């Protein structure tokens, strides 16, 4: 998994978590919405806040935030000349259509929720990229025009963060990473830097993965994490040696004593300590 994808998703989660300032619509509070089982979700990466850490069946719960997008009453379409403004407005329109579908047909709810979250994140990433390019190229007039059009579009829509609780099951061989190491201090209380040798050791065997090795025991309620969800397939014991085959049978017996979900999390990355998803203020 590429590091820039993870960081981009995390930065845009923070943007999403500070939207609006309006209260969630009636009937859409976390307590009134049913919990989701990750078995109904598509494979992919999801970001949320830990509500409950893994239990004996490796089930844990995340609170996932997604945007509900509605056109404000009386909103008028501005004249949009920039290609990015037109793209951005089209994304908002698609999200309002998804929002209407969620209200009309319950079976659209979960997939539309995830799609809106991903669309919003992608839109924010593209916006940051375009603005940074114009600023770097010192195209001040084009930059000013785009910023005005973005503001005009944002004023047309009401974007309210809504949260849902989702139950995930960790894979038996799950990998847990932490994006940033905790600060360490010397005897004088000054921040002490990790040496290259220490950083290499803390990366562990999977040096291509983001961050550093961690464990399920390090997971705590309130942490913001990224999870990678995949289809779970039982290993085919016929392809193993005798010893490996016996281990596979033993694993199957253990699995029979617990419920094995068809969708399981193969990777958890701790992105942030504390609960960033509750700071829903402008």
pLDDT at 128: 85
- Name the H helices within the chain: 3-17, 83-104, 109-136, 140-156, 196-203, 242-256
Whether 160 contacts 68, CB under 8 Å: yes
> What pTM, to 2 d.p., does this model score?
0.69
CA distances from 202 to 7, 182, 195, 206, 212 (A): 20, 12, 11, 10, 6
Report residues of the chain scoring pLDDT below 50. 1-6, 17-31, 239-240, 255-257, 275-282
pLDDT, one tens digit per residue, over 217-252 is 999 999 999 999 999 876 555 544 555 555 555 555
Instruction: Return d(Cα 106, Cα 84) in angstroms, integer.
Output: 33
pLDDT, one tens digit per residue, over 42-61 is 888 888 899 999 999 999 99
Instruction: Return d(Cα 39, Cα 53) in angstroms, integer.
Output: 18
Helix pair 3-17, 109-136: axis angle to 10 deg: 100
pLDDT at 251: 55
């Amino acid at each position: 998994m590429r590091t820039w994808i993870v960081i981009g998703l995390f930065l845009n989660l923070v943007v999403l978590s500070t939207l609006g300032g309006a209260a969630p619509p009636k009937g859409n509070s976390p307590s009134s919405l049913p919990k989701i089982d990750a078995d109904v979700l598509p494979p992919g990466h999801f970001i949320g806040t830990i509500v409950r850490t893994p239990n004996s069946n490796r089930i844990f719960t995340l609170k996932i935030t997604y945007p509900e997008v509605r056109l404000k009453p009386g909103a008028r379409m501005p004249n949009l000349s920039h290609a990015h403004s037109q793209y951005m407005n089209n994304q908002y329109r698609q999200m309002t259509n998804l929002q209407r579908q969620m209200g009309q047909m319950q079976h659209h709810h979960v997939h539309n929720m995830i799609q809106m979250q991903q669309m919003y994140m992608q839109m924010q990433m593209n916006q940051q990229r375009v603005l940074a390019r114009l600023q770097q190229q010192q195209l001040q007039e084009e930059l000013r025009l785009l910023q005005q059009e973005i503001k005009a579009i944002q004023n047309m829509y009401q974007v309210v963060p809504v949260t849902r609780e989702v139950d995930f099951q960790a894979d038996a061989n799950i990998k847990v990473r932490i994006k940033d190491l905790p600060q360490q201090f010397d005897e004088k209380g000054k921040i002490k830097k990790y040496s290259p040798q220490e950083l290499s050791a803390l990366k562990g065997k999977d040096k291509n993965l983001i961050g550093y090795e961690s464990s399920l025991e390090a997971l705590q309620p309130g942490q913001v994490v990224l999870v990678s969800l995949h289809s779970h397939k039982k290993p085919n014991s016929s392809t193993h040696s005798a010893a490996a085959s016996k281990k596979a049978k033993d694993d199957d017996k253990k699995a029979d004593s617990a419920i094995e979900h068809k969708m399981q999390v193969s990777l958890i990355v701790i992105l942030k300590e504390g609960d960033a998803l509750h700071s829903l203020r402008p």
